[in-house]
Amino acid sequence: MRRVLLGLLVLTQLGGCATVRTLDANKPGAPVVYAGTRLDLYMINGGCCPQDHFGALAPAYPGLDLPGSALLDTLLLPLSLLTAAGIGFNATGGL
């Protein structure tokens, strides 16, 4: 388990995780569900202009970033499905 976490940390430091980059990509019409994984696959297949399609820059090494982005996108899937369905939620902390 430590090796997996260490590997994910290394991947995010190499050029930025695509999932993290797409989380705050404020672009209308940009994909939400599995956005980081889709961005990596888009770049691996020779796509151009990732900011036009995803609202975020692609990582420097999309092939290395793909497993970590797929894992993080899977963990965030319930939230991204709610967002894609147009269901908003407000979380507040404190008492």
Reported as a single tens digit per residue, the pLDDT across 62-72 is 998 899 899 99
- In this prediction, residue 50 carries a pLDDT of 92
What residue ranges do the domains of the chain occupy? 2-85
Q: Note the pLDDT tens digit of each residue in 10-48.
A: 655 555 688 888 887 778 888 889 999 999 999 999 999
Provide long-range contacts, Cβ within 8 A and 24+ apart, for 73-80: 73/19, 73/33, 73/34, 73/35, 73/36, 73/37, 76/19, 77/33, 77/34, 80/32, 80/33, 80/34, 80/35
Residue 83 has pLDDT above 60, yes or no: yes
Q: Using CA atoms of 93, 18, 81, 70 in order, give the dihedral in degrees to the nearest 10.
A: -110
**pTM, rounded to two decimals:** 0.76
